[in-house]
């Protein structure tokens, strides 16, 4: 997103960011040619959304790296899943499958397990008290 000065057709530059303390965020931008200033104010929900996405209003403090957004959202180094474990996971309802997979993956990491099998899944369910689920 860029702010353009309508009069000068110039890209406005970031001038200032303020966090008033009520959950809102205010940012001002200034036209480098004519000096016109525009402000943007977000409500608390918008501020939280922007923060959760890792967006820094006002620019970066470090240079961008290639594929940084992709790398930030890719989980690496997780345990492998045996074919039988994958089949069992596929039978979990889709709306909770991601959460279930994370539970087993976290359990495996904590216990130094490199491959999740149905036996590992059974052990995790017992140790985590999930038998009735």
Residue 46, pLDDT above cutoff 70 = yes
Look at the alpha carbons of 97, 99, 105, 108 in this order and tell me if their dihedral is positive or negative. negative
Q: Taking 60 as the threshold, does the pLDDT of residue 64 lie above it?
A: yes
CATH topology of domain 80-127: Helicase, Ruva Protein; domain 3 (1.10.8)
**CB-CB contact of 119 with 107 (8 Å):** no
Write down the pLDDT at residue 90.
92
- pLDDT tens, residue by residue, 65-79: 677 666 655 655 689
Considering the entire predicted model, what is its pTM?
0.44
Rounded to the nearest integer, the mean pLDDT of the chain is 83
What is the CATH T-level fold of the domain 1-59, as seen in this structure?
A: N-terminal domain of TfIIb (2.20.25)
Q: Which two tokens stand for residue 116?
A: 């999740």
Domain coordinates in residue numbering, the chain: 1-59, 80-127
Which residues are within 8 A (CB) of 52 and not within 5 positions of it... i.e. 6 or more apart?
A: none
pLDDT at 88: 92
Over residues 88-109, the mean pLDDT reads: 89
Q: Model confidence over 14-37: pLDDT tens digits?
A: 888 888 778 888 888 999 999 999
Cβ atoms 10, 2 nearer than 8 A:
no
């Amino acid at each position: 997103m860029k702010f353009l000065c309508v009069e000068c057709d110039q890209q406005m530059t970031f001038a200032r960011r303020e966090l008033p303390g009520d959950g809102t965020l205010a940012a001002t931008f200034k036209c480098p040619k004519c000096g016109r200033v525009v402000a943007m104010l977000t409500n608390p929900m918008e501020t939280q959304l922007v923060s959760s996405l890792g967006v820094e209003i006002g620019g970066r403090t470090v240079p961008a790296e290639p594929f940084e957004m992709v790398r930030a959202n890719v989980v690496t180094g997780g345990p492998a899943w045996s074919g039988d474990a994958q089949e069992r996971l596929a039978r979990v309802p889709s709306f909770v499958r991601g959460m279930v997979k994370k539970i087993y993956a976290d359990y495996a990491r904590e216990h130094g397990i490199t491959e999740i099998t149905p036996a590992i899944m059974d052990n995790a369910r017992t140790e985590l008290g999930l038998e009735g689920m």
